[in-house]
Amino acid sequence: MRDNQSRVDVKQLRLQLAANLRQGVNPYLPGWEYVPDGEPYVYDDRVYVYGSHDHFGGYEYCQNDYVCWSAPTADLGNWRYEGVIYPRDADPLNPDGDMLLFAPDVTRGADGRYYLFYVLDKLGVVSVAVSPQPAGPFEFYGHVHYPDGSLLGETAADEPQFDPGVLFEHGKLYLYTGFCMPDNPRRHGAMVTVLDPDLLTVAVKPAFVVPSASYADGTGFEGHAFFEASSIRKINGAYYFVYSSVLSHELCYAVSASPLGPFKYMGTLVSNCDLFIDSYKPAARPMYYGGNNHGSLVQVNDDWYVFYHRHTNGCNFSRQGCIEKVRILPDGSIPQVSMTSCGPQAEPLRGEGAYPAYIACSLYCATEAMTVGKPGDWMDCRFPRITQDQPDGQEGLSYIANMRAGAVAGFRFFDCQGIRRLTVCTRGGKGELLVKTAWDGKALGGVAVGGNNEWRAFTAGIQIPDGLQSLYFEYQGSGNLSFAAFSLETD
């Protein structure tokens, strides 16, 4: 990638990119993997992440079987695929596999086994599977039920179950569930149900712990009422309830001295369009195309992280997991963190070598928009999107497509030292990629690109100031540019 223009061997490019990806980036899994709704846990010096599993190019959420990925606690850039841990047709209520596996959660029981809690998309009941290992495979165990055998979620007094979050403590299982559209007063909020040690039988009936929008007035949750995505963690003796608010794009948290509440609203952990962040741009300006959000907190060695997901392919149904490091302050509060390209890193990415464009943490165009919109809106030709050419589940090259005049891809952060040249790998379009170190900054220079139907590398002499830097690539030109990678080079 040293000439003004050269052909690109995609296989060789992927090998070049792999070296820098091993540092740990966002998304933390390979660019062709789509595991949203991440619930991370540390078991025996490995971080295991459990989530739903989207189908790239799919028509609905969570079309694939559950899979698991894990990484050593000492290296969050080294994720290992653990395989399919639970197929859709394993539940006796879904023998033909027609229903979807929505967001799960996992806990280790008193017997040392691992219990997977989940809800199928057509049913409002909670199912449980079990495995002797954290990475499965899991086998069906039972459905959560009342002592008389009736299923939780099916009696007249029940609200439907959804997105289980679980905490096992002192022989009891605390099960948090709920789904509350903001305009539905029949849904009261997030619920907690206490289960017996068998992890199936209801010991204490559901009680509401965080209000829906219809019941938030005067509670402290106004504007950030419960929508979905229940998750629970115990931190320094307090119980942190993580959830997605009625704003959808944000993960909020509430804290209580008891797993049964009452919970006090504390704030936003992360937004997948970076709303409310004012450290590098105006607080009200979205910097990525947001959508629903789901995730949780985990301690890895001495550090805490929030797991969340972003939307790709210009639609709701191809979501990828991301990580950001968070700070828990002495008073127990957690300041909101911004989206970055170097998520699992305690340090910025190396300012040298090749990086894939799909690790962009900012993506927008001249038409400001906060969400990916309704299903099918990816057909709107204004908006750039992260995508891939290969079918779902196959390794390949992910990239940014549909960059038209005014489209911007931003990357945060790099440790830049002596960078004098930039090479970009693009396809289509014809114009220039301007390079900035701030979203509203002056261009340091540009790389002439375009006119090619296959991937080509284009190089220009551009000096990046030394130090901690963000990089923003703004396309100005005609047509529709695809952006696969860039390389930071010294002379």
Q: Per the structure block, which two tokens stand in for 451?
A: 């006119």
Out of 33, 158, 163, 228, the active site residue is 228
**Contact residues for 268 (Cβ-Cβ < 8 A; gap 6+):** 224, 245, 250, 251, 252, 276, 336
The Cα–Cα gap between 120 and 425 comes to: 42
Which burial class, exposed, middle or buried, applies to 203 when counting CB atoms under 10 A from its CB (0-12, 13-18, 19+)? Answer: middle
Q: Is 96 a catalytic residue?
A: no
Q: How far is CA 78 from CA 48, 54, 89, 98, 442, in A?
A: 12, 22, 31, 34, 37
Give the number of other CB atoms < 10 A from CB of residue 412. Answer: 25
Q: Is 17 helix (H, G, I), strand (E, B) or coil?
A: helix
For residue 176, the one-letter residue type is: Y
Q: Per the structure block, which two tokens stand in for 316?
A: 């709701």
Out of 37, 54, 159, 274, the active site residue is 37
For residue 29, the one-letter residue type is: L
The Cα–Cα gap between 223 and 213 comes to: 8
CB 76 within 8 A of CB 127: no
Q: Is 198 a catalytic residue?
A: no
- Catalytic residue list: 37, 228
